[in-house]
Amino acid sequence: MDVASDRTKPQVEDYMTRDVATVSPDTTVGEVANRIAETDNHSGFPVCERRRVEGFISARDLLLADDDDPIFKVMTTDLLVAHPEMKVTDAARVILRSGIQKLPVVDDAGNLVGIISNADVIRSQIERATPKKVGKLVNTLEQIHEVELRQERRTVPLAELTPTQGRVYADELEGRRYELEHGLAEPLVVIDNAGTLLLADGHHRVLAADRLSIDEMDAYVIVIDRPIDLGMARTAKKEGLEGIDDIEVVDYARHPLVQTTERLQSEE
C-alpha cells in the first residue's frame, strides 16, 4: 500500500485492539462454533496463516457447514481490511458504510496487526479533546488578528448557524446520528463574530441533528465582540453558504488505505 501518513488526526493504530484472537484455515467448523458459544466477546474471527490474513469466519458462515469441515472451505475471503495509519474518521465511514462490526488492520505485508470495531470508533470520537481544539483556535485567531477573545459554553440555535464547510459525508452522518441518539455527541465549536454565528467544527453533527428534528445544540463559543474579517467567513460567502441547508451531502469513495484481502494477494 502507498501510505500518506497524517499524524495530525487520530489514526487506526491509536485505537485498534492489538491482541487479536484468530483461527487457522485448518480449524474445524465445530471448534470455531464452540469458541463463539463460549464467549460473549466474539461473533467471528480473522483467519490467519502465520499472521497473514486469509479471510474471516463469522457465526453466519457456520450455519450450513458440517462440524468437521475446515474453516477455509466456508470462510469469507474477500473482506475489507484497513491500514494502521488510516485516520479513525475514515475507518468509521468504512465500518458504517459496509455494515460490518469489525475491520481487520494489516501492515504493508498483509500481516494482521490489530482489529478496530465500531465500539473503538465511538470511543475515539468521545475522547476527542474539544477544549484543547478550541484553545488552539483561540490562540490562532488572537495572533492573526491581534485581538483578545473569550470563550463561553452555551446552547446555539441551528437555524442561526453559518456553515464554513460546504460538504459532509453521508456515511459519517450515520455515526453522528448514533452519537446524538445515545447522548454521546461532543459540543460544537462556534465563533460568535459580533452576532454572526460561524460553525467552525461539527458540520456532520449539525446535519445529523437537523435530521432528528433537533433545533439547538450545546457549543463551545469563541466570542469576538467587534467584528473582524475571518478567512472562514469569506470562504463561506464565496461558496454561497448561508445556512445548514446549503451543506451538500456526498457519498464517500473507497479510501486508498482500505483494501480487500483478494486485492492484497493479487499484488504479490
Q: Yes or no: say if 158 and 216 are a contact pair by the CB < 8 Å rule.
A: yes
Report how many domains make up the chain.
2
Q: What is the pTM of this model?
A: 0.54
Residues 213 and 239 grouped into a single domain: yes
Give pLDDT, residue 129.
46
Furthest-apart CA atoms within the chain: distance in Å: 75
Residues 113 and 153 grouped into a single domain: no
Give pLDDT, residue 101.
77
pLDDT by 10s per residue, the chain, length 268: 444 444 557 889 988 889 899 999 999 999 999 998 887 667 789 999 988 999 999 888 898 889 999 999 999 888 889 999 998 888 887 877 777 778 899 998 889 999 998 777 766 665 554 677 788 888 888 888 888 999 999 999 999 999 998 888 777 787 788 888 878 778 899 999 999 999 998 899 999 999 999 999 999 999 999 888 888 888 888 889 999 999 998 875 455 566 665 556 566 6
Question: Among residues 124, 154, 182, which one ends one of the domains?
Answer: 124
Give pLDDT, residue 257.
62
Residue 45 sits in a domain whose CATH number is: 3.10.580.10
Residue 4 maps to a domain? no
Containing structural domain, residue 18: 12-124
C-alpha cell at 14: 491509536
Q: Yes or no: say if 241 and 162 are a contact pair by the CB < 8 Å rule.
A: yes
Residue 68 maps to a domain? yes
Give pLDDT, residue 4.
41
Q: What is the strand order of the sheet 216-224 is part of?
A: 150-157, 216-224, 188-193, 196-201, 161-163
Residues 188 and 103 grouped into a single domain: no
Residues 119 and 147 grouped into a single domain: no
